[in-house]
Structure 1
Amino acid sequence: MTIVCLGDSITHGYKVKQRETWPSLVSQTLNTEVVNKGINGDTTGGMLARFNADVIAVKPSHVIIMGGGNDFIWGVPISVVEANLAAMVQQAVHHSIIPMVGVPLPIAVSKAKKYWPFVNNFLEVNKSLEEFRTWIFSFTKSFSVTVVDFYQCFVDGQNAVLPDLYGDGLHPTPTGNKLMSGVVLKNEIFKVLNDF
């Protein structure tokens, strides 16, 4: 088994040690190869453009695709983000790679405003991320694709974002990354491996 994690800075591991990133933690627990193809600042359009080189050429058994946050910060319409994600899933299936769709994290707005003062649309971005999450659940259900709901770890029972899990309001701390790896490992596909 080889897993490629395709995404942006949340996958890459912005401001955390490489061994503390969620892909690295998954690799350590499963004792399997996990290739981190997260790029800081990437969009779903960028991910789609490099899908051939970064996923198909690697010939993994699985790919975990997560993106969208940067698209919404830059004002990319949600329909375009959805189309990009659907295209990546279809390409994976076509090449006999099992796709898994990661749900991006919400933003801890107050904290993010301190660290990223030049971005002024965080509230709108969070609305788009919620709408995108709903679409991901619907899309993955229709096509029998596995969803990895990272979003759920970063909110409480009232759907309020938990700022302590973020270093800067956008990117998870080592603790946040640990929670994310736990969501991946809980998946039925990996549970079997985890039991050995």
Structure 2
Amino acid sequence: MKHRRWYWFFSMLFASFFAVTSCASQPETVKNLKAGAGTQIIALGDSITAGYGVAQTEAYPSVLSRQLGIPIVNRGVSGDTTAMALSRLQKDVISAQPWIVIVGIGGNDFLGRIPKTETEQNLRQIVTTIQQQKAIVVLLGMNLSLPELGLARDEYNELVQRVAKDTQAYLIPDVLKGIIDNPQYRQDDIIHPNAAGQKLLAVRVAQGLQPLLADATFPNALLQYRKSNE
């Protein structure tokens, strides 16, 4: 059963039409790659991370956890801006002793037309605060262009790339490309993935994470977990 699960998983990775690894960060440049600190993986984000409109088991962190065979704590909160995520960072992330934090935030800044300078400052602070705990930060490039809402250009794409480069965070770009702009993978409200979209998002994040996980030093707690589940 375990071998069939991994065969399906890697088949999904290679069958994905959108290669995310071509623009992803190189693992060797990532801050805290070999620290092996913390105890768990945390997904920090807004309603997309929280799984708005789908079952909790269908939200991408849950799907990703099953694909990787590693526990992932979902710390997504619907409606969060980067400022809101920053305000709860200590309680929801730092206190949980993270090893890796997957940060997918900024959509509500985009929709609310929050100044990009403010968003960038908040995102930088989120990243550097997490890194001060010797944790690895993974930034998701979210592709926030929604022509139906009059937002035809993603003005935050370069912002996220710049923050990732400057802070040595690990970038997985374009994870929502073809999801929120495709009726097959989104809910009727346009801005949230449906269950199929969440599954595709998880596959892309998993694909992007593979080089990082191959090079990173796992903390003892997760090494023991993997050993007990082999």
Q: How far, CA to CA, are the matches of 1:51 and 1:100 in structure 2?
A: 15
Q: How many corresponding residue pairs?
A: 176
Partner residue, 1:118: none
Superposition deviation, residue 12 in structure 1: 0.2
Summarize the alignment of residues 39-50 of structure 1 with structure 2, pairs less than 5 Å apart.
Answer: 39-50=77-88
Superposition deviation, residue 62 in structure 1: 0.4
State the identity %.
30
- Per-residue CA distance 1:111-151 (angstroms, 9 max, x = gap): xxxxxxxxxxx323x53xx2211221233123322112213
Change (3 A) 1:191 1:183: farther
Give the structure with the larger helix fraction.
Answer: 1
Residues 1:29 and 2:67 aligned together: yes
Partner residue, 1:178: 199
Superposition deviation, residue 190 in structure 1: 3.5
Residues 1:162 and 2:182 aligned together: yes
Structure 1 unmatched runs, 5+: 111-121, 156-160
Greater Cα offset, 89-98 or 132-141: 132-141
- Per-residue CA distance 1:52-99 (angstroms, 9 max, x = gap): 111100001100111111122223111111111110100011111101
Change (3 A) 1:146 1:138: same
C-alpha contact (below 8 Å) 2:128/2:167 kept by paired residues: no
C-alpha contact (below 8 Å) 1:13/1:21 kept by paired residues: yes
The TM-score normalised by the length of structure 1 is 0.81
Structure 2 unmatched runs, 5+: 1-38, 219-225
Q: What secondary structure is seen at the aligned counterpart in 1 of 2:142? A: coil
C-alpha contact (below 8 Å) 2:143/2:157 kept by paired residues: no
User: Any runs of at least 4 consecutive aligned residues in structure 1 with deviations exceeding 6 A, and if so which?
Assistant: none
Q: How far, CA to CA, are the matches of 2:100 and 2:115 in structure 1?
A: 28
Change (3 A) 1:191 1:174: farther
Partner residue, 2:30: none
Q: What secondary structure is seen at the aligned counterpart in 2 of 1:164? A: coil
Q: If you compute each CA radius of gyration, which structure gives the higher value, 1 or 2?
A: 2
Change (3 A) 1:152 1:74: closer
Superposition deviation, residue 108 in structure 1: 4.7
Q: How far, CA to CA, are the matches of 2:213 and 2:51 in structure 1?
A: 22
Q: How far, CA to CA, are the matches of 2:53 and 2:212 in structure 1?
A: 29
Q: What secondary structure is seen at the aligned counterpart in 1 of 2:80? A: coil
Greater Cα offset, 10-19 or 136-145: 136-145
1:165 partner letter: Y
Superposition deviation, residue 170 in structure 1: 0.4
Residues 1:71 and 2:106 aligned together: no
Q: What secondary structure is seen at the aligned counterpart in 1 of 2:150? A: helix
Q: How far, CA to CA, are the matches of 2:143 and 2:50 in structure 1?
A: 14
Q: How far, CA to CA, are the matches of 1:14 and 1:178 in structure 2?
A: 14
Change (3 A) 1:107 1:139: closer
The TM-score normalised by the length of structure 2 is 0.70
Change (3 A) 1:108 1:77: closer
